[in-house]
């Protein structure tokens, strides 16, 4: 049986940016657009060209994509032609193959917010969509407040989407702008729109999660006939967020009746990259990934030992609604389990270390990692530190040097001319094979300002490592991420440092402590140790 085509429209880069605290840079938008394209999203809405410098620049340099690249804007204002509306012109000038224009479909918003007549609004919709179509682009119409409008003045709401469709819109998208519409109401309204003659394969749905039902409402719309879903990665978006594509995609591909009835552009292979894609976005936003996220959360397939423990050991799949690897996630089960050890062995091989199956040191490494994770460490993004933990347990980590003590001072005060400023200073005492070295550095950065205690500490540490010095001369810190997290019952600081060397080699290390300077110091030490190890430095 041939399956119907279902289209996925991502608005992470536009509506997702409405999230409090989210502001993508051009480079971040490019990285996300490429990742969305790779997974098989049909439409990528990049932003609103002309609305702000970042979006304008992004559209100027946007990557080539398989996905239909879409510029967002609004329907023309009243009292001018579509061609003479400079806001619309800004959107058109981005030259994208598709243009999505938002317009009003709720009568109250037309008269109260826009202050124009209902007929003027319909004319703005018609003229704007026709203008996009005439330019040879694919036109989409986002019907703002459609569902509230449908309740308040059903005839007008239906008329507005009809107007867009008749004017040539490839897609008319019903938007639950305030997010309060329940799934059964969405289904009813979708059916009503289809009854007016807008075919389901020209109808999209755009939900928000204000009652925690954006995913369910989007699926209800599909079951009622809509064939495009708009959403965002990780449910990013204003207020409670948009419909979460990261939850929707696996349900559409793996669950009935969707899996048999519909096809998307997302392959099974791409689906297995979903967890990684979700983490990538969190990484860009420096957010802690939500452990409980459906499908992609770290806890989504975690079985807590208890009532079910023995049954889970017999057959874990009876306690899972889907197989975790299908979405690139992993089962989390008690550490003694066989699967944990074989994963570990594979990872060790990647570091050039062969360990026999059932070697008791495998369990010891897993226990140590578990103990550290309970204290707030995270090794997903810190491969180099993971390798050091494993090598320590295996007796394969040489002692290159020891830091006997350090002291860091930050002082902020007025200088002789009365200007306030700060200065950081670090003293480090290192012992290399019995030889003590005392180094001191200020945390002054390139432009002469104070770079802070971690900068000072990093410089003091790298100042004189005696026989190892030439191994670390080409090392530099390229990124530094800080998160407050749980370590047992206390809040601790987790620092992840990315380092790079002259050969372009890049590695990440982690440190954890209630004290941010200590946590940074631990990650710095790991970074240097890993570099000495990797470059074959001989311990003194």
- Restricting to residues 242-301, name those near a second copy by CB under 8 A: 244, 247, 250-251, 255, 286-287, 290-295, 297, 299-301
Phi, psi of 442 (to 5 degrees): -95, 155
User: Least distance in Å: CB of 161 to a second copy?
Assistant: 20
| Residue nearer to a second copy on the CB measure, 269 or 447 | 447
Q: How many chain residues bind a second copy (CB under 8 A)?
A: 121
- Of 368 and 380, the one with the shorter C-beta distance to a second copy is 380
Q: How far is the CB of 389 from a second copy (least distance, A)?
A: 17
CB of 163 closer than 8 Å to CB of 196: no
Site for a second copy in 304-323 (CB under 8 A): 304-307, 310-311, 314-315, 318-322
Shortest Å distance, C-beta 327 to a second copy: 11
Q: How far is the CB of 473 from a second copy (least distance, A)?
A: 21
Contact yes or no for 262/206 (Cβ under 8 A): no
Q: Which of residues 186-245 bind a second copy (CB under 8 A)?
A: 209-213, 215-217, 219-220, 223, 235, 238-241, 244
C-beta closer to a second copy: residue 92 or 187: 187
- Verify binding: residue 23, a second copy, rule CB under 8 A: yes
Q: In whole angstroms, give the CA distance from residue 271 to residue 264.
A: 11
Let me know the angle formed at the C-alpha of 130 by 127 and 133, rounded to the nearest 5 degrees: 155
> Tokens representing 158?
């239906």
* Contact by Cβ (8 Å): 100, 71: yes
What residues from 323 to 342 belong to the interface with a second copy (CB under 8 A)?
Answer: 332, 334, 336-338
Residues 368-397, one symbol each (x = binds a second copy by CB under 8 A, - = not), give ----------x-xx----------------
Out of 46, 50, 90, 183, the only residue in the binding site for a second copy (CB under 8 A) is 183
User: Shortest gap between Cβ of 134 and a second copy (angstroms)?
Assistant: 25
Pairwise CA distance, residues 336 & 496, whole Å: 28
Largest CA distance in the chain: 87
Grouping H, G, I as helix, E, B as strand and the rest as coil, residue 126 is helix
**Segment contacting a second copy (CB under 8 A): 37-45, 164-172, 360-368, 449-457?**
449-457
Distance CA 142, CA 72 (A): 9
Q: For tokens 């370590």, what's the residue?
A: 487
Verify binding: residue 179, a second copy, rule CB under 8 A: yes
- What is the enclosing helix (H) or strand (E) of 478? strand 476-487
Cβ-contact 429, 436 below 8 angstroms: yes
Structure tokens at 260: 């048999």
Dihedral, 192, 193, 199, 201 alpha carbons, nearest 10: -100
Of 37 and 500, which CB lies nearer to a second copy in the complex structure?
Answer: 500
Q: How far is CA 157 from CA 105, 165, 403, in A?
A: 5, 13, 71
CB atoms inside a 10 Å sphere around CB 25 = 12
Cβ closest to a second copy, residue 196 vs residue 431: 431
Site for a second copy in 341-370 (CB under 8 A): none
Phi, psi of 483 (to 5 degrees): -135, 140
Close Cβ partners of 503 (under 8 Å, ≥ 6 residues apart) = 474
Q: Which of 84, 117, 342, 515 binds a second copy (CB under 8 A)?
A: 515
Of the residues 12, 19, 75, 121, which one makes contact with a second copy according to CB under 8 A: 19
Residue 434 in the binding site for a second copy (CB under 8 A)? no
Please say which residue, 283 or 359, places its beta carbon nearer to a second copy. Answer: 283
Which of 3, 154, 392, 407 lies at the binding interface for a second copy (CB under 8 A)?
Answer: 407
Helices 154-166 and 118-134, interaxial angle, to 10°?
Answer: 20
Distance in Å, CB of 197 to a second copy, minimum: 26
Instruction: For the CB of residue 309, give the shortest distance to a second copy in the complex, in Å.
Output: 11
Helices (H), 86-200: 86-92, 107-108, 118-134, 146-152, 154-166, 183-195
**Beta-carbon contacts of residue 262 (< 8 Å; ≥ 6 apart):** 3, 4, 5, 6, 222, 252
Asked if 5 touches a second copy (CB under 8 A), the answer is: no
CB of 506 to a second copy, least distance (A): 14
Q: What is the footprint of a second copy within residues 135-154 (CB under 8 A)?
A: 145
Q: By rule CB under 8 A, what string of x and - marks binding of each residue 469-508 to a second copy?
A: ----------xxxxxx-x--xxx-x---------------
Residue written as token pair 């094979």 = 433
CB-wise, 163 or 300, nearer to a second copy? 300
Q: Please, which of residues 31-60 interact with a second copy by CB under 8 A?
A: 51-52
Site for a second copy in 73-112 (CB under 8 A): 74, 102, 108-109, 112
Minimum Å gap between C-beta 413 and a second copy is 4
When asked if residue 529 is in the footprint of a second copy (CB under 8 A), the reply is no
Asked if residue 96 lies in contact with residue 138, where contact means CB atoms within 8 angstroms, the answer is no
CB 451 within 8 A of CB 424: yes
Residue 438, SS3 per DSSP:
strand
- Shortest distance in whole angstroms from residue 361 CB to a second copy: 23
């Amino acid at each position: 049986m041939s399956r119907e085509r279902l289209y996925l429209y991502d608005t992470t880069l536009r509506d997702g940016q409405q999230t409090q605290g989210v502001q993508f840079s051009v480079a971040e938008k490019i990285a996300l657009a490429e990742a969305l394209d790779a997974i098989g999203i049909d439409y990528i809405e990049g932003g609103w060209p002309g609305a702000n410098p970042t979006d304008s620049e992004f559209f100027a340099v946007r990557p080539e994509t398989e996905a239909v690249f879409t510029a967002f804007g609004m329907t023309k204002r009243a009292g001018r032609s579509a061609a003479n509306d400079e806001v619309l012109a800004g959107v058109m000038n981005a030259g994208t193959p598709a243009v999505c224009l938002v317009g009003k479909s709720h009568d109250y918003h037309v008269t109260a917010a826009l202050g124009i007549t209902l007929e003027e609004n319909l004319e703005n919709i018609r003229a704007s969509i026709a203008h996009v179509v005439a330019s040879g682009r694919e036109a989409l119409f986002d019907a703002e407040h459609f569902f509230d409008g449908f309740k308040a003045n059903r005839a007008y709401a239906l008329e507005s989407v009809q107007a867009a469709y008749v004017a040539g819109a490839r897609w008319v998208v019903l938007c639950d702008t305030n997010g309060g519409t329940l799934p059964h109401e969405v289904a009813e309204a979708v059916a009503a729109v289809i009854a007016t003659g807008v075919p389901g394969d020209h109808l999209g749905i755009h939900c928000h999660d204000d009652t925690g039902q954006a995913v369910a409402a989007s699926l209800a719309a599909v079951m009622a006939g809509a064939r495009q879903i708009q959403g965002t990665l990780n449910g990013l978006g204003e207020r409670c967020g948009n419909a979460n594509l990261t939850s929707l995609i696996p349900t559409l591909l793996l669950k009935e009746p969707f899996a048999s009835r519909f096809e998307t552009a997302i392959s099974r292979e791409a689906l297995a990259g979903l967890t990684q894609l979700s983490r990538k976005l969190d990484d860009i936003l420096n957010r802690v990934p939500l452990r409980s996220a459906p499908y992609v959360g770290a806890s989504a397939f975690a079985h807590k030992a208890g009532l079910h423990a023995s049954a889970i050991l017999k057959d874990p799949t009876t306690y899972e609604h889907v197989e975790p690897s299908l979405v690139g996630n992993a089962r989390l089960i008690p550490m003694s389990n066989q699967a944990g050890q074989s994963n570990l062995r594979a990872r060790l091989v990647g570091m050039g270390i062969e360990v026999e199956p059932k070697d008791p040191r495998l369990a010891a490494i897993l226990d140590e990692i578990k103990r550290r994770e309970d204290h707030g460490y995270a090794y997903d993004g810190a491969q180099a530190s993971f390798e050091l933990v494993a090598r320590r347990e295996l007796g394969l980590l040489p002692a290159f040097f020891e830091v006997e003590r350090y002291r860091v001072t930050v002082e902020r005060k007025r200088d002789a001319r009365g200007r306030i400023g700060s200065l950081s200073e670090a003293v480090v005492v290192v012992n290399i094979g019995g030889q003590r070295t005392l180094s001191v550095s200020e945390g002054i950065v390139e432009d002469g300002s104070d770079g802070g205690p971690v900068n000072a500490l990093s410089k003091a540490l790298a100042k004189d490592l005696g026989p190892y010095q030439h191994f670390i001369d080409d090392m530099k810190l390229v990124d530094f991420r800080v998160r407050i997290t749980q370590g047992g019952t206390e809040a601790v600081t987790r620092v992840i440092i990315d380092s790079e060397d002259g050969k372009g080699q890049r590695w990440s290390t982690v440190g954890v402590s209630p004290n941010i300077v200590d946590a940074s110091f631990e990650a710095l030490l790991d970074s240097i140790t890993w570099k000495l190890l990797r470059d074959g430095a001989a311990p003194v």
